[in-house]
Structure 1
Amino acid sequence: MNSLTDRAAGARHRTPLNRSQIAGFWGAWAGWTLDGMDSFIYALVLTPALTELLPNSGYAATPANVGLAGSILFALFLVGWGLSFIWGPLADRFGRTKVLAGTIFTFAIFTGLSATAHNVWELGIYRFIAGVGIGGEWALAGTYVAEAWPEDRRKMGAGYLQTGYYAGFFLAAALNYTVGVHYGWRAMFLTGAVPVVCAILILLRVKEPEKWSKTEAQATRTKPLREILGPAYRRRTWVACALLTIAIIGLWAGAVYEPSAVIQLATRAGMAKPEAIKMASIATGLLSIATIIGCLALPPLAERIGRKKTLAIYFAGMAVSIVGAFGWAFYLPNGLAPFIAWLVVLGFFGGNFALFSLWLPEQFETRVRATAFAFCTSFGRFVGAGVNFLLGAAVLNMHTLGVPVAITAVVFVIGLFIIPFAPETKGEVLPQ
């Protein structure tokens, strides 16, 4: 009884946040929201954009060519994400907030430029460079919140931060439902460049986390990339890389292919093309809301049962829901409603990304934290690029979307066997 009372009292007397911590969080959250919006805009406008640009590039806009070109361009985008590890050492050397602002500026400018593309080659270049910016935002935002927020609040801060990415999905779906339907794919890309100025202004006025400032003042210059791959950190670095790779493959399987699957199911159910596109936007909104709930539910669960058990639950949920949605509901005669129901389940367990925002900073010291976070996320994106290309080829050869995506559930089963090799950091403070 006393322990329950103590816990309740602790919940009521959390360390208050100062103005810089609050402004920094909202700046990071806004950047992460725009990051999610930018990522999902591509999935929503893929077909109309390539239908217009392929003929300008000398290729017929057949469904097969649209699918193959879309997969290649998306793989290029993911390679850009992978190259984003360059931001980590910069942040460990020059600070979190200014480098974070640089990542946001990069992806905003080149997302806006995507609206001016005249052919698929130009679009590919713009999406590649936007990917470099987008890929760095999560690592730096997660590092900033972990270091800037008080110890008794940073764990929920990770959950709050992660909701931004899926709020971006929801925002992209809302924009597609309104702007995209009426003004087309170019207007959708332009929206990715409009609100980011506010996030940059906030981040440039935010103080660096005290933990980084102290480490910077005391540090002798080290090579953080060499250190995280050295004897002290090697095992946890590669285990984190493997687990993040699995999560990223699942993200694209569950989210990027979802609009196309819903449009196909809606068309099969007799809906006209505009109604089918709107249904895809509604389904994306439901997926986003469910994922936000999953992000918020994760930190308390991780505090109660530990990081490794929590990730195992979320990975198992991802495996089951991907098979349920793409392997079963997608092939039902009237599969639209069951597919969307499974999407809600998939969305909830897609909140597993919040664990990495909480867990990765706990595994590395301040002097190498941003480099480690960026390296682990970038590694997963490189592998994800290859898997995405293989998925596109499988869809083309099998003439179906469901089975190739459903097969990706296997990676989450593999992940269950990798989780035991990761360190358990429940109850530990953020290392200095």
Structure 2
Amino acid sequence: MNSLTDRTSVTRRRTPLNRSQIAGFWGAWAGWTLDGMDSFIYALVLTPALTELLPRSGYAATPANVGLAGSILFALFLVGWGLSFIWGPLADRFGRTKVLAGTIFTFAIFTGLAATSHNVWELGIYRFIAGVGIGGEWALAGTYVAEAWPEDRRKMGAGYLQTGYYAGFFLAAALNYTVGVHYGWRAMFLTGAVPVVVAILILLRVKESEKWQKAEARTVRTRPLREIMGPAYRRRTWVACILLTIAIIGLWAGAVYEPSAVIQLATKAGMAKNDAIRTASLATGLLSIATILGCLALPPLAERIGRKKTLAIYFLGMAVAIVGSFGWAFYLPNGLAPFIAWLFVLGFFGGNFALFSLWLPEQFETRVRATAFAFCTSFGRFVGAGVNFLLGAAVLHMHTLGVPVALTALAFIVGLFVIPFAPETRGEVLPQ
């Protein structure tokens, strides 16, 4: 009875959120949602966009050329993501909210401009610059929520925030199911310009985090990038880079190639083109819902058993799910239903990204936090760009999608051996 009373008392003592904290969270969440939508739009419209633009660029729109060009453009997009580390030092110097609005404005404008592309070169440039904006949003949104929310709420705040990205996947799938099917790929890119409104609202409504304001007031100006590479932070910086790289490889291998795999399996099952596209959209929606559930389940688990054990469970789940979906179900004679079933498992453990929103801010002090978050995520995207290019080449060489993607499960096995080198921050407050 006393135990129940104690738990109820703890629940009631949770610090209430003020209006600025609530507005700030929803601004960050909406930006992250539209970020996810923007990222996944490309995967959904890849084939129709390149089928139209390749002939205008002097290349035949063969399946091989579409696959290769798609991989090159996506690798270029990920390089843009990688260059997004520039936002981190800016946020540590000028504040979280202004720079967060800048990232959203950048990816929104250049996603909208992608709708005007006349050839693959223009599409590549627009996607590259959009990637620079998209890449910075996660680091700044995660940093802002960690600093702005009270200590007793910020862990779940990280899980709530991460659901936004996958809500964006769901939104992109819904738009593709309606707008994309009826109005084409250009209309899909135009919907990506909507986040401009969110950027304006963030600038007007959201106050800067008190932690940053206090740190700014007492900080002697240093070079944050040099500091996170110094003796105090070097090990945790590089370990975080490796773990994030593995997570990013899994995200893009599983999520980005999922629509193409579903379309291939649906076509093989005898579906018409539009029905296959709709099936891919529904499968993406299922993947997104599962990932949202994985994000929500992660913070309580991390609080109970620790950050490192939680990430190990999610990494192992990702390895099994990638092999089960792309290595096994994809090659079954009637593999569409089993593949979609495996997507739920793949989606749930894809929620491992929520741990980084929770864990990374705990590893660095306020004066360098945004720089560290942005650098670690950007490093992974550079490597992810290279892996994506290799995947495209492997698909072209092996004439199959399943095996090359299934091999990315090996990265998560490597990750299980890296996790022990990371710091365990369970029970610690956010460093000042």
Q: TM-score, normalised by structure 1?
A: 0.99
**CA contact 1:30–1:199 (8 Å) conserved in 2:** no
**CA contact 2:176–2:188 (8 Å) conserved in 1:** yes
**How far apart in 2 are the matches of 1:128 and 1:2?**
58
**How far apart in 1 are the matches of 2:259 and 2:11?**
40
Q: Deviation of residue 6 (structure 1)? A: 2.0
**How far apart in 1 are the matches of 2:160 and 2:338?**
29
**CA contact 1:298–1:351 (8 Å) conserved in 2:** yes
Q: Secondary structure at the match of 1:275?
A: helix
Q: Deviation of residue 194 (structure 1)? A: 2.0
**How far apart in 2 are the matches of 1:64 and 1:282?**
26
**How far apart in 1 are the matches of 2:204 and 2:397?**
49
Q: Report which stretch shifted further, 257-266 or 200-209.
A: 200-209
Q: Secondary structure at the match of 1:116?
A: coil
Q: Report which stretch shifted further, 201-210 or 83-92.
A: 201-210
**How far apart in 1 are the matches of 2:312 and 2:10?**
28
**How far apart in 1 are the matches of 2:100 and 2:231?**
29
| Residue aligning to 1:245 | 245
What per-residue deviation string (whole Å, max 9, x for no partner) do you get for residues 18-54 of structure 1?
0100000000000000000000000000000000000
**How far apart in 2 are the matches of 1:40 and 1:413?**
26
**CA contact 2:82–2:132 (8 Å) conserved in 1:** yes
What per-residue deviation string (whole Å, max 9, x for no partner) do you get for residues 352-376 of structure 1?
0000000000000000000000000
| Residue aligning to 1:107 | 107
**How far apart in 1 are the matches of 2:255 and 2:21?**
31
**How far apart in 2 are the matches of 1:413 and 1:123?**
36
1:190 aligns with 2:196: no
**CA contact 1:106–1:130 (8 Å) conserved in 2:** yes
- What is the aligned residue count? 432
**How far apart in 2 are the matches of 1:216 and 1:14?**
28
Distance 1:195-1:235 versus aligned 2 partners, 3 A rule: closer
**CA contact 2:100–2:136 (8 Å) conserved in 1:** yes
Q: Report which stretch shifted further, 352-361 or 192-201.
A: 192-201
Q: Deviation of residue 112 (structure 1)? A: 0.1
Q: Deviation of residue 14 (structure 1)? A: 1.2
**How far apart in 2 are the matches of 1:195 and 1:215?**
30
**CA contact 1:28–1:199 (8 Å) conserved in 2:** no
**CA contact 2:102–2:199 (8 Å) conserved in 1:** no
**CA contact 2:237–2:376 (8 Å) conserved in 1:** yes
Q: Deviation of residue 5 (structure 1)? A: 3.2
Q: Deviation of residue 179 (structure 1)? A: 0.1
**CA contact 2:105–2:195 (8 Å) conserved in 1:** no
**CA contact 2:109–2:196 (8 Å) conserved in 1:** no
Superposed structure 1 runs of 4+ greater than 4 Å apart: none
**CA contact 1:104–1:200 (8 Å) conserved in 2:** no
Q: Report which stretch shifted further, 133-142 or 3-12.
A: 3-12
**How far apart in 2 are the matches of 1:425 and 1:73?**
38
| Residue aligning to 2:425 | 425
Q: Secondary structure at the match of 1:152?
A: coil
Q: Secondary structure at the match of 1:138?
A: helix
Q: Deviation of residue 162 (structure 1)? A: 0.1
Task: Give percent identity, aligned residues only.
Answer: 91
Q: Report which stretch shifted further, 7-16 or 234-243.
A: 7-16
**How far apart in 2 are the matches of 1:353 and 1:200?**
27
**CA contact 2:105–2:199 (8 Å) conserved in 1:** no
Q: Secondary structure at the match of 1:198?
A: helix
**How far apart in 2 are the matches of 1:14 and 1:347?**
31
**CA contact 1:31–1:196 (8 Å) conserved in 2:** no
1:162 aligns with 2:185: no
**How far apart in 2 are the matches of 1:198 and 1:330?**
39
**How far apart in 1 are the matches of 2:13 and 2:167?**
29
What per-residue deviation string (whole Å, max 9, x for no partner) do you get for residues 359-396 of structure 1?
00000000000000000000000000000000000000
**How far apart in 2 are the matches of 1:407 and 1:2?**
52
What per-residue deviation string (whole Å, max 9, x for no partner) do you get for residues 180-238 of structure 1?
00000000000000243134313442111000000001110010000000000000000
Q: Deviation of residue 3 (structure 1)? A: 4.3
What per-residue deviation string (whole Å, max 9, x for no partner) do you get for residues 275-306 of structure 1?
00000000000000000000000000000000
**CA contact 2:245–2:384 (8 Å) conserved in 1:** yes
Q: Deviation of residue 130 (structure 1)? A: 0.1
**CA contact 2:248–2:384 (8 Å) conserved in 1:** yes
**CA contact 2:108–2:130 (8 Å) conserved in 1:** yes
**CA contact 2:174–2:281 (8 Å) conserved in 1:** yes
**CA contact 1:101–1:204 (8 Å) conserved in 2:** no
What per-residue deviation string (whole Å, max 9, x for no partner) do you get for residues 218-276 of structure 1?
11001000000000000000000000000000000110000000000000111000000
What per-residue deviation string (whole Å, max 9, x for no partner) do you get for residues 150-178 of structure 1?
00000000000000000000000000000
Q: Deviation of residue 16 (structure 1)? A: 0.5
What per-residue deviation string (whole Å, max 9, x for no partner) do you get for residues 388-407 of structure 1?
00000000000000000000
Q: Deviation of residue 142 (structure 1)? A: 0.1
**CA contact 1:91–1:140 (8 Å) conserved in 2:** yes
**CA contact 2:139–2:377 (8 Å) conserved in 1:** yes
Distance 1:203-1:289 versus aligned 2 partners, 3 A rule: farther
Q: Secondary structure at the match of 1:425?
A: coil
CA RMSD of aligned residues (A): 0.8
Unpaired stretches in structure 1, ≥5 consecutive residues: none
Q: Secondary structure at the match of 1:126?
A: helix
Distance 1:13-1:137 versus aligned 2 partners, 3 A rule: same
Q: Secondary structure at the match of 1:137?
A: helix
Q: Deviation of residue 11 (structure 1)? A: 1.9
Unpaired stretches in structure 2, ≥5 consecutive residues: none
**CA contact 1:146–1:358 (8 Å) conserved in 2:** yes
Q: TM-score, normalised by structure 2?
A: 0.99
Q: Secondary structure at the match of 1:151?
A: coil
